[in-house]
Amino acid sequence: MDIFSQKAFLFDFDGVIVDTEKYHYKAWNDACAAFGTRIPEEEYPYLKSTGAPNFFAYFEKKLSRSLTPEEKTALLSAKDASFSEYNSTITARDVLPGVIELIEKAGQRGIVCALASASRTAKERVEALGLEGLFDTITDGAEVARKKPAPDIFLTAAEKCGAAPADCVVFEDSPAGIAAAKNAGIPAVAVGGLKTPDAFVCVDSLEELLP
């Protein structure tokens, strides 16, 4: 499929626009260190973008016990505080290769470009980096009820773009994100080295997609 024949591009943020996933990973491990456990690097891809309840369930399985409501609150607060500290070091220089060029090429061809991130703070993070001008519309996790792999975030973004799901392309770096695109009926590009048969193409960098 020629992605430039589509009407809308829907971009995840973490790991697609900016390499922030490494900081999410560090922040979760900072938080769970207090419980004497950690997330092995090879297990993290299947957790990212799925929401805090899935992380809690993961930790409960690792600990062989349930977390109390107070522990869940403390765990999430510690994670958010740690990530905020890491996130403060990110600048526009950290935008991943090919991102700006691909969005500019799409705009030149009349393709609507949207940010569709499960993060509830995606809008403010984009603004802090001065990237809001790249996108025609932004949808974040505060606007949908269900996290990935539910299709909500991408269906909402497609509707904002005025495009049918089949006329969009999703750019994702997580298995849950690719599954969300599939559940929405939207073809997906797997980026960042993710290999999955559910994407119609897998690339290490968006630079590979430039015409």
Q: pLDDT, tens digit, for every residue of 59-94?
A: 999 999 999 999 999 999 999 899 888 878 888 888
**In 3D, which of 44, 48, 15 has the Cα closest to residue 206?**
15
Q: For residue 93, what are its two tokens? A: 């220089």
Say if residue 100 is in the same domain as residue 203: yes
For 36, list phi and psi in degrees, rounded to 5. Answer: 75, 25
Say if residue 75 is in the same domain as residue 120: no
CB-side exposure of 134: number of CA atoms within 13 Å?
Answer: 24
Q: Please identify every residue annotated as catalytic.
A: 12, 14
Residue 61 burial (C-beta neighbours within 10 Å; 0-12, 13-18, 19+): exposed
Q: How many structural domains are present in the chain?
A: 2
Q: What is the pTM of this model?
A: 0.82
Say if residue 77 is in the same domain as residue 25: yes
Domain that holds residue 33: 21-87
* C-beta atoms surrounding 140 within 10 Å: 22
44-53, 61-70, 76-85, 175-184: segment of lowest average pLDDT? 44-53
The two beta strands, 188-190 and 201-202, are parallel
Say if residue 129 is in the same domain as residue 158: yes
Say if residue 78 is in the same domain as residue 42: yes
Say if residue 32 is in the same domain as residue 114: no
Cα radius of gyration (the chain)? 17
Say if residue 61 is in the same domain as residue 107: no
6-10, 115-119, 199-203: segment of lowest average pLDDT? 115-119
For 151, list phi and psi in degrees, rounded to 5. Answer: -85, 0
Say if residue 79 is in the same domain as residue 136: no
For 24, the 3-state DSSP assignment is helix
Q: What's 80's DSSP letter?
A: H
Say if residue 151 is in the same domain as residue 136: yes
- 34, 67, 87: which is the final residue of a domain? 87
Say if residue 7 is in the same domain as residue 46: no
- 87, 103, 132: which is the final residue of a domain? 87
The CATH code of the domain that includes 25 is 1.10.150.240
Say if residue 74 is in the same domain as residue 39: yes
- 59, 87, 115: which is the final residue of a domain? 87
Say if residue 97 is in the same domain as residue 81: no
Instruction: Please check the confidence at residue 49 and state whether its pLDDT lies above 80.
Output: no
The CATH code of the domain that includes 156 is 3.40.50.1000
